[in-house]
């Protein structure tokens, strides 16, 4: 049994930050709060819908450029992985184990291999939060 089993199947809900439903940032926010004891910003007032990909991309870009997140080459459990949707970096998931991530899809939270071509060609970076650096 893995920590991720608790989250698999959470339904997609725009701007959701709870077990009852999440968007992709909401899932990261929820997992970090519950599993890592790290309180990330909710960004609830920073965008009105996850369909606003430019706003989501701006938030992800700002976080990636901040001193709180560090780009890494050797991912560990709970690192976050970012992806392009079209021209914008507007999707995020959580490393579960080597090559596998937990992320939110329109069908709900699921586990997928981020090294498969459909994800690998869109992968932008993998980041570790400063509170998780040992």
Domain count, the chain: 1
Confidence at residue 77, expressed as pLDDT on a 0 to 100 scale: 97
- What's 59's domain CATH number? 3.90.1720.10
pLDDT, tens digit only, all 134 positions of the chain: 789 999 999 999 999 999 999 999 999 999 999 999 999 988 887 777 766 677 777 777 877 778 899 999 999 999 999 999 888 888 999 999 999 999 999 999 999 999 999 999 999 999 999 999 87
Confidence at residue 113, expressed as pLDDT on a 0 to 100 scale: 98
Confidence at residue 122, expressed as pLDDT on a 0 to 100 scale: 94
Query: In terms of residue numbers, what domain contains 103?
Result: 3-132
**Count of CA atoms in the C-beta half-sphere (13 A) of 35:** 19
């Amino acid at each position: 049994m893995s920590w991720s089993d608790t989250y698999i199947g959470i339904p997609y809900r725009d701007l959701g930050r709870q077990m009852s439903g999440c968007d992709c940032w909401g899932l990261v926010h929820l997992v970090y709060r519950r599993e890592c004891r790290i309180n990330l910003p909710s960004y609830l007032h920073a965008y009105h819908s996850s369909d606003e990909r430019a706003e989501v991309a701006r938030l992800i870009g700002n976080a990636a450029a901040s001193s709180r997140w560090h780009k890494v080459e050797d991912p560990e459990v709970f690192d976050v992985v970012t992806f392009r949707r079209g021209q914008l970096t507007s999707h995020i998931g959580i490393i579960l184990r080597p090559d596998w991530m937990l992320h939110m899809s329109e069908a709900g939270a699921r586990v997928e291999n981020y090294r498969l071509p459909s994800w690998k060609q869109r992968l932008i970076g993998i980041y570790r939060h400063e509170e998780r650096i040992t």
